[in-house]
Structure 1
């Protein structure tokens, strides 16, 4: 039995789960390479010291997940950078004063002072909100949606369904 197959010899992380050692990561990568060469899971288990073909299969799955992590992390980083740029651009629009324009001319009050247009600022606020929502989705920080159920109404609907089923099963006269 390899060291990582013995749970007593593996380290637990702060959440009580076992951490993978560098040995386990390397062995999982080797398992994936052997699988790509056409070896069976039992052959992989025998060659690399897994406890069985199921554990060899899980090793290959872990190796596949490891490969996907780095590109996904890069993609998330790039998406975050684009959201940062959008956020800065929307902030710049929000912080500027915008004059009201009608038919190509600046609209002024009775004293000749240009009237301010709140439309671009409101649009910038909407964009800022949308960017923040995108951040929450990208990093998974939104709280899960909750569904409330009225137990009495649900019970009444279930009873009605049972009554309909019972009515369909009654012998016809």
Structure 2
């Protein structure tokens, strides 16, 4: 039985032998064996260690599936982005009753910026979705300050309820 090693950060690092044994533990669990039986069969120190092995396999399986799905979604977003970019880069002309509108006869056609603006909006939505999918949007930090007046009011209400900082409400 190969022992796991610890990395520079002190965390357990799996080697191919432990990964194989973890996979065997998961297969035995799917066959209905208890964690005690798995521990006995594969030489784990106890049922808790067998349970940890199965959890590691499940976590990695879920992570791999999530990574695959994320890659597919990113590819779809890339395709949508390219299509929206083509709309953005194409010249669009105003049309009324099926005919191109000209400001003056013989002059250039009237540009229609609606499709360009819609494409820009769509590109921004795709970028937002991509950033969210990749976890690029940092959580917003907010700061809340409580004024002295509010603190004083809270203390008065607590006193009315018969509470102090370190006691429970008193019974009437």
Normalised to the residue count of structure 1, the TM-score between the two structures is 0.80
Cα distance in 1 for partners of 2:171, 2:68 equals 64
For residue 162 of structure 1, what is the aligned residue in structure 2? 158
User: 1:48 — aligned with what?
Assistant: 42
* TM-score (structure 2 length as normaliser): 0.80
2:60 match:
66
Residues 20 and 94 of structure 1, relative CA distance in 2, 3 Å threshold? same
3-state DSSP class of the match of 1:25?
A: helix
Counterparts in 2 of 1:165 and 1:28: CA distance versus 1, 3 Å: same
Residues in 1 aligned to 2:137 and 2:11: alpha-carbon distance in whole angstroms: 25
1:75 aligns with 2:69: yes
Out of 96, 107, 116, the position equivalent to 1:102 is 96
- Structure 1: unaligned runs, 5 residues or longer: none
Q: 1:52 to 1:155 in 2, by over 3 A?
A: farther
C-alpha distance in 2 between matches for 1:157 and 1:84: 55
Which structure: greater helix fraction?
1
Structure 2 unmatched runs, 5+: 164-168
Of 5, 10, 13, the residue aligned with 1:19 is 13
Count of paired positions:
165
RMSD: 2.7
- Give the C-alpha shift of residue 124 in structure 1: 0.6
